[in-house]
Chains A and B, each alone.
Chain A
Amino acid sequence: MIRVDEKGFYGKFGGAYIPEMLYPNVEELKENYEAIMASEDFQKEFRSLLKDYVGRPTPLYLANRLSEKYGAKIYLKREDLCHTGAHKVNNTIGQILLAKRLGKKRIIAETGAGQHGVATATVCALMGMDCTVYMGEIDIARQRPNVERMKILGAKVVPATSGSKTLKDATNEAMRAWINNPVDTHYIIGSVVGPHPYPEMVARFQSVISEEIRWQLKEKEGRENPDIVIACVGGGSNAAGAFYHYYNTPEVRLVAAEAAGLGVSSGKSAATTALGTPGILHGSKTILMQTEDGQVVEPHSISAGLDYPGIGPVHAHLFDIGRGEFVAVEDKDAMAAGIELSRLEGIIPAIESAHAIYALNQIEYGKDDIIVINLSGRGDKDLETYIKWGGY
């Protein structure tokens, strides 16, 4: 049975390894999130915003030409059609409603590609809350349009200038900001990482993805379970959402596509399960890329959203017990898959999601298999990277 235990662990992974200064905040969240999320009032507001504001349910689209090319029945779960362009908003809607009920006045967040930052800035505008987003200096440079979107939405974007100047360091800065403002501030973590209860809470908000896949597939195919679900994994929030209702259905294969960067052995990679070992990162025990000495290794991926040296503890657990199949997709293959999907289906995917598309080349399946790929985001934000890459 895959589920979080009362101490916040999935098997060997998870927990809350945090400085005492964050203990009251995390404890407050832990004590309250389940009751708040279960309340009728919360569910009503959450569901109504997902429907009317985010645009859910997102389509489950049978990609005919892609299916023909790969020789299987391939559906795309169109999270790219969510308001703001990615699945991230499912979680930010949930967390802002939670923050309101906890009486918080300010929101802080970290962001990699900027999708979570935009989704956070969006819900803060929606709820009239003050918003500060921490973003690595390098990501600010490569995701300019998202930086400007956050600013238009009224958020303050603060560059993280330490370490690798990417998502890991943005997360460090957000945690420091939370330590500095513990009383009135809620930290909206964007992935299934961080101290308990964040990984489980974020996964539950994202679990609407697999909840919908189940009934949509039932409508289309007469069965709730596909043979395979594929999703990309940086921290792993879209994957957690797409896998959530299938964790304990062993006949559904769960495939996680990590970013291999320039190649798993190139020294420029973010393929965490291939390169990582157990340790502690951002408040939870998980698998992370680190030196023998326990220093966190700076990752690389062309996709800012996957450029993270760890994975959420639930994914570490899926890997550990062999429930998930992990593949590593190189920059060049992801870019090619992004262009291929654009040509075959008229959908330009986010480079993150393109990793999941490429995974079709790395796993075994039969021609009658039903495969659902979680298309976590759209490629608008990556236009500059596509242009620089060329090849189309």
Chain B
Amino acid sequence: MSLSGVWTDVVGQASAVDVLASAVAGEPGAMTHAWLITGPPGSGRSVAARAFAAALQCAAGGCGDCRECHTVLGGTHADVEVLSTELLSIGVKETRELVRRAALSPAGGRWQVIVAEDADRLTDQAANALLKAIEEPPPKTVWILCAPAIEDVLPTIRSRCRSIHLVTPSTAAVAAVLVRRDGMDENTARVAALASQGHIGRARRLARDPDARSRRADVLALPRKVGDVGSCLRAAERLIEAVKADVAATAEVTDAAERESLKAALGIGTGAKQPPGAAAALKELEKRQKTRATRSQRDGLDRALVDLVAFYRDVLAVQLGSGVDLVNEAEAPAVQDVATASTPEVTLRRIEAVLACRTALETNAAPLLAVEAMTLGLR
């Protein structure tokens, strides 16, 4: 199966793409009304969902060039509704609106596709509100739910969907994308792909943005900085600061771009008086950006912790002489230092400390306190 058209960006998922493409092609029994796409973060769940939606809307089955494909991928197609959230959960109010959308017939006459990108964030009530609509949608409506793992959605939702599992794309596949699409040289691409552990978006940022690389290096410098209590506390503070800076750097760019495009659409800034409703729309956007900032700080800190776990994984690999590829090739000397200075038991205890910090953050612990507790545990 050659990857062409809209499927090009669904990296390293040949078997999943096969299933989806045959559904689009209309092979008997291949299509169904509800899909659940699962896969680890960064494996491209929402990319796959959008590609599938585009292919369903495209007369040529996902050519990637026509107007339908373009508007689906750009998020403006009339028959593709995408529910994603920047908050921590999706409530019953948003889902009620989806239930109504699901009952409408498609404007373009092909399919009405509803993509729920963060189905794992549905509250139980919200998921229950969807049950009926997912079980028996009108003939032209298709649901595509995305979640990290099949266990993340209610069993009652799960049983109503056909499941598609995405694997973590291989390092080689990620590196190939970076080379092909972003024009990276092979070495940078490989290092970034390794460091991102199969998270395509993250790999791209690491490859393209030297600042992101240096901030990541900052995070990974932490294991060598923890000594006495004072240094632990300082290291924790630096980690939080690094994450904040990282998140702010991305947010600044996207926030400004969003504001500009909304302003242009509402006709502000071309000399006329502000049209009615414009101030409210802008305020709403600002509010959304603020809640997104909260969430992305949480996500950013989580990513940093995952990087730390990967570092100790490398340390463990060296200590046990397993000979597998290091995730952090660029930090190999540091890995060596830590490996010789400690024992596998200590490393395992440290990994546990980092994972405990992740759990604590999930239950809304104050980030600085949780990270301080972790750095003290890393001594």
Partners in one complex: no
